[in-house]
Amino acid sequence: MTVAIKAGSLEDFFASARETACEIDQGKRLTPKNTIWVEPEDLLVLLKPERTRLLRWLRGRRRVAFAELMSAMQRTAVSINRDLSLLAKYQLVRIYREKTPDQGVHKVIEPLFGDQKLEFRAEI
C-alpha cells in the first residue's frame, strides 16, 4: 500500500470525498486509500532534495532521536526542525519529547508512513 500525497485545494478534497461516498452508496467495494491533500505551494516545498532525502532516511524506522537524525543528515537543528514541522503539518511524522533515564528530555521523531512508498501527485 502507498501513501498518495496530492496537491489540491479544499474543494479537491471534498470532491474526492463525494466520489468515495457515491461509491459507498452504490455498494461498490472500496479499497483503503491513504491520501494526504497538500496545498500546491507546500507540495513544491516537500519535493526539495533535502526533504526527500529525509523522508527516504525515515522510511522503515519506528522512532528516531532528534540527535541521531541530525547526525545522520549532517544538517543543523534549525533546518531539520523546519523540515519536520512541515512533515508534521501533513501528518507524515509525529514529534514528541521523551524523558531519558538520567532525568533529561530528548526529542523523538516517529514516521507515520512506516515503510510505505510515498507518491507525490500534482494535477494542474
Lowest mean pLDDT among 34-38, 82-86, 101-105, 106-110: 34-38
As a dihedral over the C-alpha atoms of residue 59, residue 70, residue 7, residue 11, rounded to 10 degrees, the angle is 100
Mean pLDDT throughout 12-37?
76
Hey, which CATH number is domain 2-122, 1.10.3720.10, 3.40.720.10, 1.10.10.10, 3.40.366.10? 1.10.10.10
Grid coordinates of 35: 491520501
Contact (CB, 8 A) for 36 and 6: yes
φ, ψ at 99 (rounded to 5°):
-70, 145
**Confidence grade of residue 28 (pLDDT, cut at 50, 70, 90):** confident
Q: pTM value? A: 0.67
Q: What is the pLDDT of residue 19?
A: 80
Q: What is the pLDDT of residue 51?
A: 87
